[in-house]
Structure 1
């Protein structure tokens, strides 16, 4: 899949000829199974949505009763478009959904990719511990409690991981509670910009069931293989 474009405000380059020049980050790469589809949310959204809907229609058995299939298709498309519209409201970059069955099951899960810009005040310290502190503050500002937080590195960049269970919210279109895992990664060469990948699943109907556990482990593996695109 093509990398998503960022516009880094600075390009790291040393004045010492012996220092290695690092190419600026221009995007990212996620390796996902064929069952997952990418929906860009800033350009090309409608064409991606139409392609997914048309493909979904081709998987409906030809002998299926038309009086039942018609309402099913309309409801599926309504829910699908609502998910995309909700992601766009969050000013996200991309939405990834499992649009094809994985084995014999339809997986209730999603990955939403966004970015966050945190301008630094003039003269603000840039010590090595600060990026992690900034990420934790950003993840804490939505009022989520009882979350598991950890930090480390992903493809050479500082990253903070948060995991929690979000309750159902009919007002926001969430009929069931969901298990959520977010990775916030500092964009190399642009310390004020953060890449955010937010995974959500309802599991098999319980966000703490075995399916949810397996999907969380799967998403952790996806992020372990996350790579920046450069130059």
Structure 2
């Protein structure tokens, strides 16, 4: 319930949580999908109607993460269904103050929404694996999430 409440506070559009054990293995993993809107930036003459080019935003995302050193974050860029995408992976330490007893592996995909450079889709995945964020189960779960995201396709109603 705490994960759902946190996702709601973060304006998540979707949240996916395992609700029952998968046989002998409890798949301790989840992901959420949300959107981010970029503020308009100032153009020439002081106007604020110009939006950032997704390629420029991707470069800024790749330039660094102020919360963690670049050696602790795996960053890459590419395309997902023709949209610019940035993939960020890191291990988040346990945080007993927040009730988080184990470290977790986090993978985020940030996708520029086609034809709307001010909107980005954010898919954030987290797993503790079988108790360690770098164990074989965590590796397999990250591989599954990467497969899910790299086969993502946009659909317009």
TM-score by length of 1: 0.59
Report the equivalent of 2:108.
182
In the other structure, the counterpart of 2:10 is 90
Partner residue, 1:151: 77
2:142 is aligned to 216
- Runs of 4+ off more than 3 Å: 124-129, 134-137
CA contact (8 A) 1:135 1:184 kept: no
What is the RMSD computed on CA atoms of the aligned residues? Answer: 2.0
Deviations 1:81-128 (A, max 9, x none): 122112112221111012233343111000011211112313258557
Matched, 1:140 2:65: yes
Gaps of 5+ in 1: 1-80
The corresponding residue for 1:196 is 122
Asked if the contact 2:91–2:104 (Cα under 8 Å) also holds between the matched residues in 1, the reply is: yes
Number of residue pairs matched by the alignment = 149
Contact 2:39–2:51 at 8 Å: present in 1 too?
no
**Deviation at residue 133 of structure 1 after TM alignment:** 2.0
Hey, what does 1:205 align to over in structure 2?
131
Determine the C-alpha separation between the residues in 2 that align with 1:181 and 1:119: 24
Q: Distance in 1 between matches of 2:22 and 2:121?
A: 27
Distance, in Å, in 1 between the alignment partners of 2:75 and 2:109 is 10
| Structure label with greater radius of gyration | 1
Change (3 A) 1:182 1:126: closer
Q: Which has the higher contact order (CA 8 A, sep 6+)?
A: 1
Partner in structure 1 of residue 47 of structure 2: none
> Which runs of no fewer than 5 residues in structure 2 stay unpaired?
44-49
In structure 1, what is the Cα distance between the partners aligned to 2:98 and 2:34?
A: 18
TM-score normalised according to structure 2 size: 0.85
